[in-house]
Amino acid sequence: MKYPIKEILSNGFVMGTVKVLDSFEIIKKPKNKEDEKKQFLNSIDKSLNEINNMKDDSYLVIQRLMISDPTLKENGIKYIDEGKTAAEAINLVMEDVIKSLEESSSSYLKERANDIKDVTFRLISNLGNKKKQVYDKPYILYTDNLLPSYLINNKDYIIGVIAKSGGYTSHSAILCRSFDIPYVIADIECKDNDTICIDTRKNKIAVNPSFEDMERYIEEINSSKRFIKKAVLHPGFLFLANISSSHEIKNVLEYDFDGIGLFRTELIFMNSDRPLTFDEQFQIYSRVTHAMAERIVCFRTFDVGDDKKISYLNTNHKGFDNYLNNKEIFETQVKAMLAANLYSNVRIMFPMIETKKEFDYLREWVLRIAKENNYRKPLIGMMLETKNALINIKEFTNTDFISLGTNDLCSELYHIDRENRMNNFNEFIDDLLEKLKDVVDFCNKRDICLSVCGELASVKEVALRFYKLGIKNLSVSSSCIQMLNNCYTEFITNK
């Protein structure tokens, strides 16, 4: 039986035995209250120790904050005094928070609900009351939603993930891309030990394929493994990576990308309930610039508003005003980026720019901060993702580089959401490329580095057309390295 993939969160082509993840078991027969309280408090301590001992744990900030919150202890003890078990108490404390997030209209907040489920999973697991599922052979996981804790604990055996829900910016998706594990959203019918093939190239999942199909899949998978996941020589072109976490740097280096074309810094902010300090941000940014050494590192200043809300930021819609309304936080971020520019490889990029006046204001702001603090001057550029900026592109003479954000640009130009944009690009791609001719001409005449960092750059058919248009620099998820290799080779061969 074959099923369509609803959404690809991490690319790949694998076949293996499926394991269906059951929910953890909530024990409802309490011991005495004091024993339940002791078990509850021990779980909190053990969970905090686990998080504190993890390397590069910026994505677990929200877990640390929630587990450390005195309200968790207070409400948990209260429920135990009312006769609940420690596991029930944890579940009750968390379920109201999860419910409020799941009811939100924001896709980002819905994904954060999955992180809080992960807190619940971790705490209850550390009570010793979780139904144990231990596997010592490679398997494909099928679950309602993938929790980061489960993924980290079992990453040596998980070769693929199918979930009923999840999002591209979720921590689970980020980790799967970092671990190079295919991760897709689909609703299928399967049971333990069924044979499953995940093929993101064709957007299909096969459950218990025929013997003939299995032989064909095995040959195709083995053939694909013979390709080294490393960038081919590509003189005159840039292979850049989009990342959201320093977890993803390993693959960027291993696959020999030329640099990072987009580092989404707002995800760091979204995992905290307070503004990050200069030192905290410097540690994150410098870790990236040090690892990349002389390769490009393009930091996008926090891109928030609309569906990306942060409690401590004064935001409404995405755009320029978010920096004016949060001056101190913006300056702290810029200072940390500039301080991390130890190898002179940092680029700073502003999102959702509408006018030349907005860009010049932010550019001068960054240059002033650099001069006042004796920091190296970075290259400063913009994401081209608004209709107004596209129409008036020739006014942006002060920009060092431009990166096309096709996600927001196509949404504004053609009023289409992500799913339709990726599945029906043939309906608008001709018009989009026609509109981009002036951008390519302007950048060539001004010697401005032009790249594409939107999702369309990861679609081979579209990437080839970007190349033919004259856009030689593409920034994609690191898992798309083979697509870039194939696209470049085909373009040069047929040139």
- Domain of residue 73, residue span: 33-125
Digitized pLDDT (tens) for each residue of the chain, 495 residues in all = 889 998 888 888 899 999 998 655 555 566 688 888 998 999 999 888 877 776 544 556 667 777 888 888 898 999 999 988 888 888 888 887 777 666 655 555 555 666 677 788 888 878 865 444 556 789 999 998 888 878 877 888 999 999 998 877 677 887 888 788 999 999 999 999 999 999 987 889 999 999 999 998 888 888 776 666 899 999 999 999 999 888 789 889 999 999 999 999 987 887 677 889 999 999 999 999 999 998 999 999 999 876 666 778 888 788 899 999 999 999 999 999 999 999 999 999 999 999 999 999 999 999 999 999 999 999 999 999 999 999 999 999 999 999 999 989 998 999 876 555 566 788 899 999 999 999 999 999 999 999 999 889 988 899 999 999 999 999 998 888 988 999 999 999 987
**Single-letter code of the amino acid located at 309:** K
Question: What is the reported pLDDT for 56?
Answer: 47
To which H or E segment does residue 126 belong? none
Statement to judge: residues 332 and 405 lie in one domain:
yes
Answer yes or no: do 469 and 370 share one domain. Answer: yes
The domain that contains 151 carries what CATH number? 3.50.30.10
Same domain, 48 and 121: yes
Based on the fold, state whether residues 55 and 168 are members of the same structural domain: no
297, with CB counted inside 10 A (0-12, 13-18, 19+), is buried
81 part of a folded domain = yes
Rounded-to-integer distance, Cα 490 and Cα 484, Å = 10
Please state, in angstroms and rounded to a whole number, the distance separating the CA atoms of residues 34 and 108. 39
Q: How many domains does the chain have?
A: 3
Indicate whether 407 belongs to any domain.
yes
Residues 178, 59 contacting (CB under 8 angstroms): no
Q: Name the residue type at position 252.
A: V
Q: Same domain, yes or no, for 320 and 426?
A: yes
Run of H or E residues at 401: strand 401-404
Count other C-beta atoms under 10 Å from residue 165's C-beta. Answer: 18
In a shared domain, residues 191 and 139: yes
The per-residue pLDDT for 29 is 65
How far CA 406 is from CA of 272, 297, 379, 382, in Å, comes to 28, 20, 22, 13
Helices (H), 198-351: 211-225, 249-254, 266-270, 278-292, 321-324, 327-339
Yes or no: say if 386 and 412 are a contact pair by the CB < 8 Å rule.
yes
312 and 409 housed in the same domain: yes
Q: Is residue 102 part of a domain?
A: yes
Look at residue 484 in the predicted model and tell me its pLDDT: 95
- pLDDT value for 148: 81
CATH label of the domain that carries residue 99: 1.10.274.10
- Out of 182, 200, 225, pick the residue that ends a domain: 225
**Same-domain status, 209 and 257:** no
pTM: 0.71
Query: Last residue of some domain: 96, 125, 154?
Result: 125
The answer to whether residue 231 sits within a structural domain is no
**DSSP alpha helix (H) spans, 53-146:** 61-68, 70-81, 86-102, 107-125
Q: What is the CATH number of the domain that holds 359?
A: 3.20.20.60
Residue 233 lies in a domain: no
28 inside domain:
no
Q: Domain check: are 142 and 11 in the same one?
A: yes
Distance CA 379, CA 402 (A): 11
pLDDT tens digits along 197-254: 999 878 899 999 999 999 988 888 887 766 668 999 999 999 999 998 887 898 899 9
Q: Looking at the structure, do residues 106 and 183 belong to the same domain, yes or no?
A: no
- pLDDT of amino acid 28: 59
Shared-domain flag, residues 304 and 360: yes
The DSSP-derived string for 129-195 is -SPP----S-EEEEESS--HHHHHHHTTTEEEEEESS--TTSHHHHHHHHHT--EEE------TT-E
For residue 403, being part of any structural domain is answered with yes
Please check whether residues 157 and 88 belong to one and the same domain: no
Which pLDDT belongs to residue 101? 64
- The answer to the question of residue 27 being in a domain is no
Q: Which of 225, 253, 268 is the last residue of a domain?
A: 225
